[in-house]
Amino acid sequence: MTATADLIILDDHGLYCPAGDFHVDPWRRVRRAVITHGHGDHARPGMGHYWAEQSSLPILRKRLGRYAPLEGLAYGQQTRFGEVKVSLHPAGHILGSAQVRVEHDGQVWVISGDFKRDADPTCAAFEVVPCDTFITEATFAYPVYRWPLARDVAGEIHAWWQQCAEAGRPAVLFSYALGKAQRILAELTHHTDEPVLLHGAMVDLVRIYREAGVHMLPTTPVAELGGKTNFAGRLILAPPSAAGSKWLRRFKNAETGFASGWMQIRGNRRRRGYDRGFVISDHADWDSLIRSIEECGASEVLATHGDTEILVRHLLERGIKARPLRTPYGEEDAGGDQAQI
Amino acid sequence: MHAFAELFDRLDATTSTRSKVSAIAGYLAAVPARDAGWAVFLLSGRRLKRLLGAAELRQWIREHTGLAEWLFESAYAHVGDLAETTTLLLARQENSGRELELSLGTLIEAHLLPLRGAEEATRKSALMALWRALPLQQQFVFNKIITGAFRVGVSQRLLIRALKQVSGIDETILAHRLMGQWEPGATFYQRLTADDDGEADIARPYPFFLASPMPEDHTELGDPQAWMAEWKWDGIRAQVVRRDGQCFIWSRGEELMCGRFPEVEAAAGSLPDGTVIDGELLAWRGDAPLPFALLQQRIGRKSPGAVSLKKAPVRLMAYDLLEAEGKDLRGQPLEQRRQRLVSLLAGHSDVLLSATVEAEDWQAYVALREQARSRATEGLMLKRRDSTYQVGRRRGDWWKWKVTPQTMDAVLIYAQSGHGRRSNLFTDYTFAVYDGDELVPIAKAYSGLTDAEITELDRWIRRHTLERFGPVRSVEPNWVFELAFEGIHPSSRHKSGLALRFPRISRWRRDLSLADADRLEDLHRLLNTPI
């Protein structure tokens, strides 16, 4: 296949489908944008028109404004851009996250967006979509990444929370505000029914998940509590950007933890000075990446995000055609420093 | 091993030193003396020497995990720690049947130590069996033990505090008992924590007393007459122990360096028994030191031949007398120790005596310090006249006052990720200067940037990578950094023809463009100016 026949190419603005004249998760202004999910590096403001999975619309409205020109599609519902057929399929990443299936002239391409295969009570499970070319994320593309069960990790978080309570200390857990925080709140329902306190950046997003019917622990915004509140024994969820902030000072003598796939590596946790690291990720681990690539049956794989070279070389050695695509998705994210709100 | 792995997890899960001390003390009090001895050995950063080779270990891990060499090495570069990489890869495997429970002492003495000198096949199968049988939560600690030094944020001082809590023995005595090279035998832990030391170890050195960097405002030191000054020589700090007709040379890292410096041992041979000198090893000819680079060539040689002995003869420059006639002098004031040192060395011209430097006031000291480089020294040492010889780095009585370093402006061209807490972050940089239009590597530097600068530079490097060579990335030449260094010497081993002493980053010069960076000929010119 020559480059000009590619159904999806990389242009200055993002992943582009020339045959249907639309972009997927563009990072510069374009007329027509299909959005995989509501994280900031994928859903950017200023596009002429947006298409996204319908349960992600409240998240996009919060990010892009009430008047953003959004159009909702149900999972599996087909729409057309000229001759090109487009449909969205569950990616298992966060609420409303989708893979984009693009079909034209007998060719099927799938753009994974961010995805995972692990069980997650807050969103629809990843669906294997057969295709010719699979554009995959590669955020955690090293064999050292293999996720433990999220329910077990929630048990660790709960045990830590109890230890802090016994020591009369608050437990501040940093996590991404969209997706991860809600997943933790949902998984914790297996262990407790105690309420959890929320940083302001998480309040609306938790409400959106509740309205979508996701069962989570009861929550209270920290802002609603008085200045003299004793936080000992409470669990507080906050985005990583709150670490070291003035806001944090009210939780006297707090222990801190960070919930992220990056916490698999001890040096990442020690460098940031968190007391505890909890390994929980909304991205595919190494085994899931390989398995998903094999299951979708693609004859060619394009890798975005992270250390794509490792995945590409591994696939080439296994006889699967592969090459990297340079996108800015998740680039700032190596090591998990950035708040994805 | 279960208890030790649990101790490790507790140490790892806290940043509070008090919690660490109580965790260690609790462990030492609870386990049998044999396990406690090995725990002290490991926590003090010691390693089981001559156990397994690094290369064979890596090969066996690859075989055991079934990964291609490049994939294993990429994962290792990403994680930045061999033991952790191994553990994460082992965690991918079958988790059943991992029920082997051994005590720390049994694991080391019955399973690991017998591997020394065993056939390769024996060592390999023993290791593979342990990887299969030990529970996963103990694998990290196990892999740390076999791959080398144990770093869990436990300093020697912290360990000693815990030992004091358990035994009630004075910290200075504990520090002394932990000095030197040892592996815990059957009675080690009892002797370590016993009231009476029993028989003395004739080779045992004293813990080094280390100077702190001089405070910005040197008038804080008060009356200049209360201080004694010496030149700060640029060699290897060492302790020479002369007891029972034998001579032992110890480095500051508590490495025994016997055999490496036969001329120093010969010189010390004429000293009376029961003498311990703290000093500096220097490559020396006539009445002046030779460049550090020459001494460096000697460090690596376990038994130097006639050529290197002639090319870089080494002498001991004596600073202090810690023991005389078998008596510990460390509690005496410096002036008294100094007097005894001077009279001891009166008849020994083959051991150099560090001269004292006199000045009337602080201004005169400042002027003296400016002469340091021309005297081939690094600056001045200031020691309080009545100071005792203490343990470790204690602020207050000994100060090092280095000369202002030389600097240059160089361009960042390569980056590599670091290890330990700097893993997964580009922190090891290579810098270059222009030779015509070509950028020639001039120095590697690892320190000097703030955490915020490191994070920012890391992101920039990820986005501006030109090429990858394994774990190393070449980046677009864009940023100029000011590097500080302590000296510059000709070197035939480097393309630049130069070797810098102790280069580090002093500033990120965002204000400079590539054209402002230093040129190779500028640096070669520095060689010709008197040092």
Note whether B423 contacts A317, CB cutoff 8 Å: no
Decide if B246 touches A, using CB distance below 8 A.
Answer: no
Instruction: Please give the C-alpha separations between residue B137 and each of A285, B88, B271, in angstroms, as whole numbers.
Output: 21, 11, 53
Determine whether the interchain pair A313/B15 forms a contact, defined as Cβ–Cβ distance below 8 Å. no
Q: Which residue has the higher pLDDT, B513 or B104?
A: B104
Residue B198 has a pLDDT of 53
Answer whether A310 sits within 8 Å of B80, measured CB to CB.
Answer: no
CATH tag for A3-144+282-333 (out of 3.60.15.10, 3.40.50.720, 3.40.50.300, 2.60.40.3080): 3.60.15.10
Q: How confident is the model at residue A341 (pLDDT cuts 50, 70, 90)?
A: very low
Q: How many CB atoms neighbour CB B492 within 10 A?
A: 6
The verdict on A267 touching B (C-beta cutoff 8 Å) is yes
DSSP for A15-82, written as a single string: EEETTTTEEES-SS--SEEE-S-SSTTTS-S--SEEEEEGGGHHHHHHHH-TT--EEEE-TT-EEEET
The per-residue pLDDT for B95 is 67
Within a 13 Å sphere around the CA of B45, how many CA atoms are in the beta-carbon half? 15
Higher pLDDT, B498 or A97: A97
**Is the model's pLDDT at A11 over the cut of 50?**
yes
Among all residues of chain B, which has the CA nearest to that of A270? B421
Q: Are B523 and B489 in contact (CB under 8 A)?
A: no
Q: How far is CA B225 from CA A12, B217, B229, B241, B359, in A?
A: 71, 17, 10, 32, 9
* Top-confidence residue, B20 or B96: B20
- pLDDT bin (cut points 50, 70, 90) of residue A291 is very high
Q: What is the model's pLDDT at position A333?
A: 45
What pLDDT is recorded for position B296? Answer: 83
Fold agreement between B2-147 and B209-402: no
Residue B274 and residue B323: Cα distance in Å, rounded? 7
Q: Check if B462 contacts A (Cβ < 8 Å).
A: yes
Superfamily of structural domain B406-528: Nucleic acid-binding proteins (2.40.50.140)
Q: Which residue has the higher pLDDT, B400 or B522?
A: B400
Q: Is A305 on the interface with B (CB under 8 A)?
A: no
Interface subset of B 344-383, CB within 8 angstroms of A: none
Beta carbons of B424 and A264 less than 8 Å apart: no
Q: Which of A143, A262, A266 sits opposite B75 (nearest CB)?
A: A143
Task: Spell out the CATH class of B2-147.
Answer: mainly alpha
With contact defined as beta carbons under 8 Å apart, do A37 and A114 qualify?
yes
**Longest C-alpha distance within chain A, in Å?**
67
Q: Does B84 touch chain A (CB under 8 A)?
A: yes
Question: Inter-chain contact A143–B12, Cβ cutoff 8 Å?
Answer: no
Write the CA distances from A258 to A175, A268, B35, integer angstroms. 6, 10, 34
Which chain B residue has the Cα nearest residue A267?
A: B421
pLDDT at site A335: 42
User: Most confidently modeled of A38-47, B179-188, B505-514?
Assistant: A38-47
pLDDT over threshold 60, residue A302: yes
pLDDT at B200: 61
CB-based contact (8 Å) between B202 and chain A? Answer: no
CATH, domain range B209-402: 3.30.470.30
Please tell me the predicted confidence (pLDDT) of residue A305: 79
CB contact under 8 A, A275 and B15: yes
Distance (Å, rounded) from C-alpha A18 to C-alpha B160? 69
Fold agreement (A3-144+282-333, A150-278): no
Q: What is the pLDDT of residue B418?
A: 81
pLDDT tens-digit map of B228-286: 999 999 899 999 999 999 899 998 877 778 788 999 999 999 999 999 999 999 999 99
Residues A173-206 pLDDT 10s = 999 999 999 999 999 999 999 999 999 999 999 9
Kindly tell me the sign of the dihedral angle through the C-alpha atoms of B231, B232, B236, B241.
positive
Q: What percent of chain A has pLDDT over 90?
A: 85
Indicate if the alpha-carbon torsion angle A131, A132, A135, A137 is positive or negative.
Answer: positive
> Is B455 in Cβ contact with A266 (below 8 Å)?
no
pLDDT of residue B530: 43
Mean pLDDT across A279-296: 96
- CA nearest B140: which of A267, A69, A79? A267
Mean pLDDT for A107-121 is 96
Measured CA to CA, the distance from residue A35 to residue A50 in angstroms comes to 7
Measured CA to CA, the distance from residue B468 to residue B430 in angstroms comes to 14
Which of helix, strand or coil describes residue A300?
strand
- Would the pLDDT of A292 be above 60? yes
pLDDT of residue B175: 80
Give residue limits of the domains in chain A.
3-144+282-333, 150-278
Which of A264, A266, A275 is best to mutate for the B interface (most B CBs within 10 A)?
A266
Q: Which of A74-83, B251-260, B494-503 has the highest mean pLDDT?
A: A74-83
Percent with pLDDT over 70 in chain B = 97
Q: Does A27 touch chain B (CB under 8 A)?
A: no
How far, in Å, CA of A109 to CA of A130, rounded?
Answer: 9
User: Averaging pLDDT over each range in A149-158, A317-326, A331-340, B412-421, which range is the top one?
Assistant: A149-158
CA-based R_g, chain B, Å: 26
Residue A316's DSSP bridge partners are none
Chain B residues touching A268 at Cβ < 8 A = 423-424
The SS3 assignment for A322 reads strand
Confidence of residue B149 (pLDDT cuts 50, 70, 90): low
| Interface contact flag, A143 B425, Cβ < 8 Å | no
- Give φ, ψ of B406 to 5 degrees: -80, 155
Give residue A68's identity as a one-letter amino acid code: A
Q: Can you give B385-447 as a three-state secondary structure string?
A: CCCCCCCEECCCCEEEEECCCEEEEEEEEEEEECCHHHCCCEEEEEEEEEECCEEEEEEEECC
Q: ipTM for the complex?
A: 0.89
- The minimum CA-CA distance between A97 and chain B, rounded to whole Å, is 27
Domains of chain B, residue spans? 2-147, 209-402, 406-528
The answer, for B453 touching chain A at a CB cutoff of 8 Å, is no
- Cα–Cα distances (Å) from B214 to A296, B4, B450, in that order, read 65, 40, 21
Average of per-residue pLDDT across B102-109:
94
Is the Cβ of A319 closer than 8 Å to some Cβ of chain B? no
Q: What is the pLDDT of residues A214-249, one digit of tens each?
A: 999 999 999 999 878 999 999 999 999 898 888 999
The confidence score (pLDDT) of residue A338 equals 40
Nearest-Cα distance to chain B for A98, in Å, is: 27
Q: How far is CA B420 from the centre of its chain?
A: 15
Partner B, chain A 142-171, Cβ-Cβ below 8 Å:
142-146
Nearest to B75 among A144, A331, A334 (CB): A144
Q: B91 vs chain A: nearest CA distance in angstroms?
A: 8
Q: What separation in angstroms does the CA of A100 have from each of A8, A116, A127?
A: 11, 15, 11
Residue B484 φ then ψ, to 5°: -105, 150
- Alpha carbon distance A221, B172 (integer Å): 53
A332 neighbourhood in chain B, CB within 8 Å: 459
From the options 3.40.630.40, 3.40.605.10, 3.50.30.30, 3.40.50.10890, give the CATH code of A150-278. 3.40.50.10890
- Interchain proximity A335–B89, CB inside 8 Å: no
Query: What is the average per-residue pLDDT within A286-296?
Result: 96
Record: contact B12-A266, CB cut-off 8 A: yes
Element housing B474 (H / E):
strand B472-475
pLDDT in tens, A18-36: 999 999 999 999 999 999 9
Whether the pLDDT of residue B369 is over 50: the answer is yes
- Please state which of the ranges A175-179, B255-259, B327-331, B393-397 shows the lowest mean pLDDT: B255-259
pTM: 0.76
